[in-house]
Amino acid sequence: MASSRVIVLSGVNLNLLGQREPEVYGSMTLDDHLGLARETAKREGITLEHVQANDATSLVEAIQKARGTAQGIIINPGAFTHYAWSLHDALSAFDGFVIEVHLSQPQAREAWRHTSVIAPVADGTISGFGRDTYPLAVSAMAALLKH
């Protein structure tokens, strides 16, 4: 069986994980999180590719490039979650599965974080599980791909 291709997209400021607000996001770096995700992906027969960008345009371009070539997208848009309608529109045109992820629990934080423009075009959202967030997302993606 061929490996499924899944793109992991990391939005604005996620390159600062491990340095930025460790009391909220923990001490793990983005590479640490991706390493755990890759371990899970290997067990599930999924090939992960990663794109991190601090601008929405680069993320939109990555989503568009994934059309017809990737079976899924796992996206942590960071603050773009709350206002980047360009990401919403690009994801709505993607023909595979979409899982939105957040290391923290947006609903337990400031009111402006409670609205996601990504959630309406995602198959599911995984948030608030810290170090386990990305492995859970990969496992969820594997389940979606099997059905």
> The whole model's pTM is what?
0.92
Q: Which strand (E) or helix (H) includes residue 124? A: strand 124-127
pLDDT in tens, 40-84: 999 999 999 999 999 999 999 999 999 999 999 999 998 888 889
Please state, for a pLDDT cut of 70, what percent of the chain lies above it.
91
Catalytic status, residue 33: no
* pLDDT at res. 27: 80
Catalytic status, residue 134: no
Q: What is the mean pLDDT of the chain?
A: 91
User: Which entry of 33, 82, 88, 102 is annotated as an active-site residue?
Assistant: 102
pLDDT in tens, 86-133: 999 999 999 999 999 998 766 656 675 657 899 999 999 999 898 999
User: Which entry of 25, 33, 88, 134 is annotated as an active-site residue?
Assistant: 25
Domains parsed from the chain with CATH numbers: 4-146 (3.40.50.9100)
Q: What are the residues whose beta carbons fall under 8 Å from the beta carbon of 72, sequence distance 6 or more?
A: 4, 5, 6, 7, 96, 97, 98, 99, 141, 144, 145
